[in-house]
Amino acid sequence: MPTKNTLNKKAKGDLFIEQKLLPILKTTGNIIILLLILALFFTIIYKLYILFFIDLLKGDFQSIVNDLLLTLILIELFTILYSYLIKHYIKVERVIELGIISLVREMLFKVNEFDNGKIYAVSVLLVSFGVIFFIEKYWSKTRNK
């Protein structure tokens, strides 16, 4: 049977974790997220510069579409990180959308390099992303009623 002294030590340890350690970890996590957001912002600006001033002048359609899709992926990642920084919550739907767009981008430009096994695997992954997306949409609607 625990004594009163061991219970007080455990309570003091819990207080240390809740009052000292957790705020430090939360602040560190927020700083890391903020640095990632800043890095994404500058990467988006750089990709837009390449898209408008290099790719459009060359007129290479594949390069334009590739950079445009990459920019959309980076913007979506930026909004996910920003919403996490503000709300400390990430919607699963947004992450699934990001995965779908990324997979489609890879398939568009590297389909010649894929063998049949990889194409089937990506197809199964896209179907599973779609199922998860629609389950989450349906479940979040019924959950919030």
Place of tokens 């700083």: 31
Q: What is the pTM of this model?
A: 0.74
Mean pLDDT across the stretch 76-102?
Answer: 90
Mean pLDDT across the stretch 50-64?
Answer: 85
pLDDT at residue 88 is higher than 70: yes
What is the reported pLDDT for 82? 92
Mean pLDDT across the stretch 53-61?
Answer: 84
| Cα Rg, the chain, nearest whole Å | 23
